[in-house]
Amino acid sequence: MALGKIADNRADHWGAQFRKGCLEMAILASLWKSRLYGLEILRRLERSSSLGLAEGTLYVILNRLKADGLVHSEWVDAGSGHPRKYYWLTASGKDRLRTMARFWVQFSGDLDALLESVLSGRELASVHR
């Protein structure tokens, strides 16, 4: 029983680490088509991914991406009473994202094939739902 709990905790930890590792790619991907500010990026991530991050983490990662030269930013006063900081991808940000996307598609495709037999059809359907 206790061993089962430890295994569950490890699986949770693995899931959290995995999501954390994907955050950078997901944030860059959310900026692929348009300039967005922090809250818009969060909403997009909430809509189209199950990454579930502390909202402040987004700003830490954006700050790092900016220091790495992958995104640019600009403060815009949109008349909402407080300015918003908009982000967009730099040329090297786009290159990095393309490389990540190629890696991801191939990697996940290979693993999908490997894991196909692990989950039953019903479990697979519930995961995709």
Partner 1 sequence: MSTDSAMAAVNEYLARLRKAFDYLPSAERDEMVEEVRSHVLERIEAEPCLTEQLVNGILRAVGDPEELASQDRTEATLRRALKTKSPWVLLRSTLTWATTGIAGVIALFVTLTGYGCAAVCYLSVFLKPFFPSRIGLWLRPEHTLTLGYWDGRFSGTQVYGISVRPPALFVLGTLSPTEGPVRELLGSWLLPVGLLCGALFAVGTTLLTRWLIRRFGPRKRSQSPRLELTTGAVR
- The least CB distance from residue 112 to partner 1, in Å, is 10
Q: Which of residues 8-37 bind partner 1 (CB under 8 A)?
A: 21
Structure tokens given for 79 = 């008349």
The CA distances from residue 70 to 63, 67, 105, 112, in Å, are 10, 8, 21, 30
Output the CA angle 57-53-11, nearest 5 degrees. Answer: 125
3-class state of residue 42 by DSSP: helix
- The least CB distance from residue 6 to partner 1, in Å, is 24
Q: Which of residues 35-64 bind partner 1 (CB under 8 A)?
A: 38-39, 54-57, 59-60, 63-64
> Where would I find the beta strands (DSSP E) of 11-68?
36-37
CB nearer to partner 1: give 3 or 50. Answer: 50
The site string for partner 1 over 75-114 (x = CB under 8 A, - otherwise) reads -----xxxxxx-------------xx-xx--xx--xx-xx
Rounded distance between C-alpha atoms, residue 1 and residue 4, angstroms? 5
In the complex, which residues of this chain contact partner 1 (CB under 8 A)?
21, 38-39, 54-57, 59-60, 63-64, 67, 80-85, 99-100, 102-103, 106-107, 110-111, 113-114
